[in-house]
Amino acid sequence: MTSATTHTTVDLTVQLGRLTLANPVMVASGTFGYAREMESLVDLSRLGGIVPKTITQELRKGNAPWRTVETAAGMLNSIGLDNDGIDAFVEHHLPYLAQQQTALVVSIAGRTQDEFVAMAAQLSGEAAVSAIELNISCPNVSGGVDFGTDPGMCERLVAACRQACGHPILAKLTPNVTSIAEMAVSAAEGGADALSLINTCQGMAIDWRKRRPMLGNVIGGLSGPAIKPIALRAVYQASQATKTPIIGIGGIATLDDVMEFFVAGASAVQLGTVNFYNPTASMTILDALPAAIAELGASRVQEIVGTLKT
């Protein structure tokens, strides 16, 4: 099959509950700014979706420095959800994002269920928003992560946000739990249109000469290629436990990575840490994706999702 034929016969469209994406390659929250920063490097219209930096109800100054530390095959971050708050986002960033010809998934984080619900309700009236991603898994702040580790709280939060908001709801889950399958089921039962997994893994770095932690917050979130095996395992386990579509995240940097996540059970992916060291990776992957899908004898993404032979 020629490259030209491949591009015309492979359908990259994916359906994540009520959310339709033109293709399965998205960029992850916290690694792509508010997209404006990347417009000179990436053709934003080619992306399946953009997830801007997580926003909170009020302004957050974030954690004390250092906030990032490079590690073997990855990085630790402890940004602490530094942002100007939802009102500033709607006023200053949303108009630009609304102009982009791709799906806009807004990531929100709250300390309480009421905060999550209030933000979801506020964004429900914004036509430019394609979906809401509930960040219930950030390891660098207090409060919100509880919703990602307690199944009952997770289910109630997702259900409340879905009731308050007309947009599709995605639940971003943490790997820092005993059973990712249990959390996936609880989010699905709450009505999540899709599950985003995983967020970062807890880790730390130490300067042994000073006998001090290198991160101001002591513990941070590990991301990058180092966590890909953990993310693959989580996606596979979650896909075995629920039929709710899954967005794979964690160490994805190449076409092979993307295809592995599809076979493991993900219907779409988000590229994260790679945006820092190879910002055009998403474009390279999109160029090669149709041929890789065709190589497996498939004509659309869904045909290869969850086809792992065990």
Task: Single out the residue of 210, 138, 143, 226 nearest to residue 175, CA to CA.
Answer: 138
Cβ atoms of 121 and 166 within 8 Å: the answer is no
d(CA 54, CA 68): 17
Catalytic hit among 138, 154, 161, 201: 138
Q: Which residue has the tokens 């269920």?
A: 113
Q: How far is CA 274 from the centre of its chain?
A: 13
Q: Is 201 a catalytic residue?
A: no
- Show Cβ contacts of residue 196 under 8 Å, excluding neighbours closer than 6 positions: 133, 170, 171, 172, 173, 246, 247, 249, 270
Cα three-residue angle 25-30-32, rounded to 5 degrees = 55
Q: What's the token pair of residue 121?
A: 């309700």
Catalytic positions: 138
